[in-house]
Amino acid sequence: MMRYRQFGNSDLQLSEICFGAMRFTSTASHVTLTESHDREQEEAQNREGRRALEAALAGGVNCIHSSGDYGTRWMLSDILAQHPKRKEIHHVIKMTSPDYEEGGFDPQVLRDSVEDALRDLHADRIAIVQHLQRGPHVPKAEAYAEAGDQRRIDALPDMVGPLQETFEALRQEGKVGHLITFPHTTGYATAALDTGVYDGVAHFFNLIEPEALPLLDRLKREGKGFLAIRPLLQGMLTDKRIDRKGLPETDLKLRAGWDSRYALLEKIRERIGEPNEPWTRFALKFALAHEAVTSLVASGNSVAQVEALLEACDGQYPSRELLDSVHALVEEVGMPPKADLFGL
């Protein structure tokens, strides 16, 4: 049975799994493929994606994460148009402004993102808007560089005024609920929270990338929510790929960019030992272990994957001591650089 968590101190209750709609159709723009697919394979993938979302909703998932730039919203629109649970779903949408090379925040981008989502998702309200600030004047190559991050932080004082004004207007119109930041770094997350504009954070949180742990403590104290992104690290932390040896030569996890991540995983396994349950389930539970985590944004692209997500939500999660142990080890060894994410 699906479990639900409160988003900070608000009255919003989200399922522990938030269906991530980034990759569940053949038209997904955020997928790196090793081989081309023919029309029959694409149609089969779309049918399976449809079944996956329907299985998630049937299993009690009440939260969907989407973005207009994922290339998958057409499927959401088609399914939700007449779905009996349509009014029970809480939508999280991603909004980007300013983008990498843009000069500043554009209020119209926020309004258009919300209006487009309301139309496409057949929704009356967007529960959470996830704000991604890539710029201003930050080349993609410097997305995770210290200098680029500092430019984003320096732009916050000029940005938060129009951001807050536009969001509040949308809130008064009944179109949105909460605004959260989607930072590149925890340093930016701290600066964004210090403005008082954001109701929470969306950030990577998994065994290899546990850097948000101290941030979670702050969010708990302040009554704000947290959405854990990439709990399975693009499929690395699953039973299928947890052991790199034996992967087919076409598997993307054999690329050099994953070397440092598997090296760190080996040290983590030495430190905490092997779990007494499947690795996929353990990795999901790790990301749910802190009480400040409201929901995991996880992509279930097949019914089997959705079932694995649902089965992990049993309330039996790792201890704080284990979280601290993994965090301390990663701090000691060093987390793999995020600068190479675009090539993975």
Average pLDDT over residues 33-39: 63
Percent over 90 (pLDDT), the chain: 82
| Contact of 186 with 211, CB cutoff 8 Å | yes
Number of domains present in the structure of the chain = 1
Q: With a cut of 60, say whether residue 343 has pLDDT above it.
A: no
- Kindly report the pTM of this predicted structure: 0.95
> How far apart, in whole angstroms, are the C-alpha atoms of residue 61 and residue 310?
9
User: Which pLDDT score, from 0 to 100, does residue 341 have?
Assistant: 63
pLDDT tens by residue, 54-73: 999 999 999 999 998 888 88
Cis? peptide before 98, omega within 30° of 0: yes
Q: What value does the mean pLDDT take over residues 14-26?
A: 89
Please report which residue ranges of 273-337 form alpha helices under DSSP H: 279-288, 303-312, 320-333
Residues in CB range of 308: below 8 A, 6 or more apart = 280, 281, 284, 300
Q: Which residues contact 325 (CB under 8 A, 6 or more apart)?
A: 271, 272
Structure tokens at 228: 């854990």
Condensed to tens digits (0 to 9), the pLDDT of residues 163-194 reads 999 999 999 999 999 999 999 999 999 999 99
Q: At residue 330, what are phi and psi to the nearest 5 degrees?
A: -65, -35
Overall average pLDDT of the 232-245 stretch: 95
**Domain enclosing residue 107, as ranges:** 4-343
Here the CATH number for the domain that contains residue 33 is: 3.20.20.100
The owner of tokens 């546990």 is 210
Q: Which residues of 99-115 are buried (b: 16+ CB within 10 A; e: fewer)?
A: ebebeebbeebbbebbe
Q: Find the distance separating the first CA and the last CA of the chain, reported in whole Å.
A: 35
Reply yes or no on whether the pLDDT at 34 is more than 60.
no
Does residue 35 surpass a pLDDT of 60? no
pLDDT in tens, 305-342: 999 999 999 999 999 999 999 999 999 999 998 866 65
| Cis peptide upstream of residue 139 (ω within 30 degrees of 0) | no
Q: How far apart are CA 239 and CA 271, in angstroms?
A: 19
Gap between the Cα atoms of 191 and 45, Å rounded:
41
How far apart (Å, rounded) are the C-alpha atoms in residues 337 and 322?
23
pLDDT-derived band at 40, boundaries 50, 70, 90: confident
**What residues contact residue 324 under an 8 Å CB cut-off, 6+ apart?**
213
Place of tokens 């997904």: 28
CA 198 to chain centre: 17
Least confident of 3-17, 143-157, 161-175: 143-157
Would the pLDDT of 33 be above 80?
A: no
| pLDDT at residue number 1 | 85
